[in-house]
Amino acid sequence: MLVIAKTARISPLADIEDSVRGSKIVVGEGVMIDSFVKVKPAGGSGDVVFGAGSYVNSGCVFYTGHGITIGEKVLIAANCTFAPTNHEFADPDRPIRDQGFQPSRGGIVIEDDVWIGANCVLLDGARIGRGAVVAAGSVVRGEVPAYAVVAGVPATLRRWRKVP
């Protein structure tokens, strides 16, 4: 089910697929979704919520998986991937694509006023606290504290914007 606020702006070149499993995709007030953004229901039945005033730059991909919650006034730079799901691969005698998905690690949660730099990857279980900055090219797989500046693969604390 797609729920799009009247004041949201979605490029005609964006591709937001409706779910066949009941996932809800919510685009809040004043959200801007740029061209070549893809929202794909895959890997689970979680919801994807874009909070009010958030901006998603071109080339980003969001899989519904175990769910993605994006707070208000979040800035997401170009070519980021949000993958709140993981393939199961424990049985080497079966093709990975036939093994389904691993249990949820909690989906992806991004609090308000976060900036995610270009080419970042956020994995299932990523939690980014209010006011944090994720440097370009980082991979986030766990918790980023509020007002932290993180960078790298995996993303690690580099400094603070403000000590919480």
Beta bridge partners of 25: 2, 48
3-class SS of residue 97: helix
Contacts for 98 with CB less than 8 Å, ≥ 6 apart: none
Provide the percentage of residues in the chain whose pLDDT is more than 70.
Answer: 99
Beta bridge partners of 32: 9, 55
Select which of 87, 94, 158, 159 is catalytic.
87
For residues 109 and 129, give the distance between their C-alpha atoms in angstroms, rounded to a whole number.
8
Entry pTM: 0.93
Give per-residue pLDDT as tens, 21-73: 888 999 999 999 999 999 998 877 899 999 999 999 999 999 999 999 999 99
87 catalytic? Reply is: yes
Specify the fold of 2-128. UDP N-Acetylglucosamine Acyltransferase; domain 1 (2.160.10)
